[in-house]
Amino acid sequence: MSTLDPVTLQILKSHFEAAAESMAYTLLRTAHSAFVKETEDFTSGLTTPCGQTFASPKDLGATWFIGLDYAGAIEAIPDYRPGDICVTNDPYSGFVCTHAPDMHLWMPIFAGERLICFAVGHIHNTDMGGAVPASLSRALTEVHQEGIRIPPMKLVDAGRMNDEVLRIMLRNVRMPDQNWGDLKAQIASLKTGERKIMDAVARFGADTVCDAMYGVLDLADRQARRLFAEMADGDYVFTDYIDEDSPGGVPCRLKLCVQVRGDEAVFDFSGSDPQLQSALNMPTGGLPRHILPLVGYNYVVYSLDTTVALNAGLLRPVRCILPEGSVVNPVYPAATGMRSLTCTRIQGMVVGAFSQAMPDRLPAGPAGGGGILNVRTTDSRTGRLAMASINPITGGGGGSAREDGQDGSNSFLKNTPIEITEAEVPIKVLGYGLVPDSGGAGRHRGGLAAQMTFQLFSPNSVVTARNRDRVRFSCWGLEGGQPGATCGFLRNPGTAGEEALGNTDVVRCAPGDVLMISASGAGGWGDPFTRPLAEVLDDVAQGKVSEAGALAYGVVIAAGIVDQEKTLALRARPKPALNGPTPGGLTLDPARLAFETVWSDTAWDHLSERLFALPVEWRFFMKHQIFAAVSADAAAASDPVAAIERAYASLLGLYPQMAPRTIGAAA
């Protein structure tokens, strides 16, 4: 417990945050790859000697990782000396890294012989080798396919670079100059953090600085507990799906029960799918406060109170239950490269769970599913191999009780200017904008989806579009608001050879191919028929809503003018119910409702119980076999649980070597 007076604590809190911001600016200004210097997929921060993050930037970099715990990586190094810099990108070494492209560095900061803290940070490398350009695809099935993995080790030992490690890394990646340039920028960022902390030590003394580190963690803890105390105790359950658990697969269910008791909460993910034979697994090691399942929680806390201290103290009042061998806690060597898609879906689920307790303070469903684009191609003028991230194609934010959702923006990823994109890789961007009518209708409209159309010119070009989703199931509306639109991915749109690519995330292109990719829209909040006519008309004038789309708001517009008589008549009619009562006033999309006529929560809970009684290596296989059998069972719609049991019994007869454990036993 900190003994500092509040004024000194606030001064040092500001100093720590400014140090983290300075680290981020150093990295941003010196990085080489577009994905770091433009999209800002990086972190910078400061941790206690045991790895608890006590300072992060507010607006720069990947705000997902507020509160990231470096303990697993720090403990893997037996000793630290001034001038050391350590590195890892292995998802299974301490569960600090979460997929291979994320290169984490940490550097001890000493005052004399005393270890004060660590300067830390990561960047997302455009490529770390592996089976596909950019290293990531849903189709990969084990971590060995996702690029070179470096266990925790010293990259710089007492000021001397470990050239052996560096050569091995650069030999195994597709664009070594990018990786080396970004790595040097990371090192510069850490040294900026060291300089700022030493400034504080010189001014306040080492004891006061160390006291303040723990004081700001305690402050965040108190702030988070205050918010929980405002909520009614209860169990808030939310279920959502990823369209496909593997290429062409069946949906992946994610289930969350937030159990609020007093000023604490448990996030129970029991009932989520077994680990997958695809790269959607989220490597947490079962750690109760791992940052990935708690990203949405951090966003909820910050949405409710923008004055909170952004550090690991926010996580103290919560803990997660993450069943071993599940998609939220896979066992080695499960692939993890696409864990960001799973994390994004869980982020929305956390918002959905808390919105049941506070529907007037939290938004409807965020969009998701657009894709983060990378292109590997050849510049035909020079013969130069080119590879870069060209832009995140994002959806929007959900509408809320206060305002419309933000258009074309989701999470922390920044827009990359078209001029930068075309300078990085030889493509031509034909269109970039928002998709009309993609935001869910509501008193406050859901945010619109972004869309990009571009053309490639060289043979053997490869486009990766990781995190593609929301083609089948869209997000949800709140308090009578409607779901957002699903997303799309087309090759050569508007031609005789038009091809719908669905959730494909690796596309090999011929010269002249055109790709058009759009995200999904976000959910609306509140009854659309209560949206003021002037706001609907303004949306139509700006091209955000079409005249046909205005009918969802009960507004009839022709030639840019509201037909008052027809509008009044339309708004006076009873609105058809899109779905029955749901917890918290959610509005679910028709595709999900149709799917759940068979795969209800009860049926899937039963399936989950059966699957988790099996050895880990059998679960994904059995899930797909049971889905196929239930789909072929004519009686499944009337009694899906019985259909699951018939399929399960039949498969046990075919595969007695599965040797199921007692139902309900731990994985």
Quote the CA–CA distance of 629 and 606 in Å, as a whole number. Answer: 15
Per residue in 637-656, pLDDT tens? 899 999 999 999 999 999 98
Give me the pLDDT at residue 49, please.
97
Give me the pLDDT at residue 315, please.
96
Give me the pLDDT at residue 414, please.
81
Per residue in 17-30, pLDDT tens? 999 999 999 999 99
Lowest mean pLDDT among 88-92, 181-185, 358-362, 627-631: 358-362
Give me the pLDDT at residue 413, please.
79
Residue 215's Cβ-side half-sphere holds a number of Cα atoms within 13 Å equal to 20
161: phi then psi, degrees, rounded to nearest 5 = -65, 135
- Average pLDDT value for residue range 131-142: 92
Flag whether pLDDT at 445 surpasses 50.
Answer: yes
Give me the pLDDT at residue 647, please.
95
Per residue in 551-610, pLDDT tens? 999 999 998 899 999 999 999 988 766 554 455 578 999 999 999 999 999 999 999 999
Quote the CA–CA distance of 436 and 450 in Å, as a whole number. Answer: 10
Confirm whether pTM is higher than 0.85: yes
Confidence at 2, pLDDT banded by 50, 70, 90: low
Flag whether pLDDT at 83 surpasses 50.
Answer: yes
Q: Of 52, 499, 638, 33, nearest to 287 (Cα)?
A: 52
Flag whether pLDDT at 82 surpasses 80.
Answer: yes
Please give the full DSSP string across 85-100, using - where no structure is assigned. EEEE--TTSTT---ST
Give me the pLDDT at residue 372, please.
85
Q: Of 86, 127, 129, nearest to 104 (Cα)?
A: 86
Three-class secondary structure of residue 391 per DSSP: strand
- Average pLDDT value for residue range 262-269: 97
Per residue in 153-173, pLDDT tens? 999 999 999 999 999 999 999
Flag whether pLDDT at 266 surpasses 50.
Answer: yes
Flag whether pLDDT at 633 surpasses 60.
Answer: yes
Are residues 193 and 20 in contact, defined by beta-carbon separation less than 8 angstroms? yes
- Average pLDDT value for residue range 78-84: 97
Query: 223-242: buried (b, 16+ CB within 10 Å) or exposed (e) per residue?
Result: bbbebbeebeeeebbbbbbb
Flag whether pLDDT at 390 surpasses 90.
Answer: no
Q: Of 444, 434, 437, nearest to 407 (Cα)?
A: 434
Flag whether pLDDT at 363 surpasses 50.
Answer: yes
Per residue in 103-124, pLDDT tens? 999 999 999 999 999 999 999 9
- Average pLDDT value for residue range 450-469: 93
- Average pLDDT value for residue range 201-215: 96
Give me the pLDDT at residue 665, please.
41
β-sheet bridge partners, residue 491: 499, 515
Name the DSSP class of 404: P
365: phi then psi, degrees, rounded to nearest 5 = -65, 135
Q: Of 436, 374, 439, nearest to 410 (Cα)?
A: 439
Lowest mean pLDDT among 205-209, 289-293, 662-666: 662-666
Give me the pLDDT at residue 233, please.
95
Give me the pLDDT at residue 582, please.
55
Task: Using a pLDDT cut of 90, give the percent of the chain over it.
Answer: 83
Q: Of 592, 270, 558, 619, nearest to 648 (Cα)?
A: 619
CB atoms within 10 A of CB 548: 11
Are residues 312 and 67 in contact, defined by beta-carbon separation less than 8 angstroms? yes
- Average pLDDT value for residue range 229-252: 95
Quote the CA–CA distance of 31 and 478 in Å, as a whole number. Answer: 41
67: left (phi over 0), alpha (psi -120 to 50) or beta: left
Task: Using a pLDDT cut of 70, give the percent of the chain over it.
Answer: 97
Are residues 598 and 637 in contact, defined by beta-carbon separation less than 8 angstroms? yes
List all residues 6 or more positions away from 467 whose beta carbon is below 8 Å from its beta carbon. 338, 340, 341, 344, 368, 369, 370, 371, 372, 505
- Average pLDDT value for residue range 134-138: 91
Could you tell me how many residues make up the chain? 667
Are residues 455 and 513 in contact, defined by beta-carbon separation less than 8 angstroms? yes
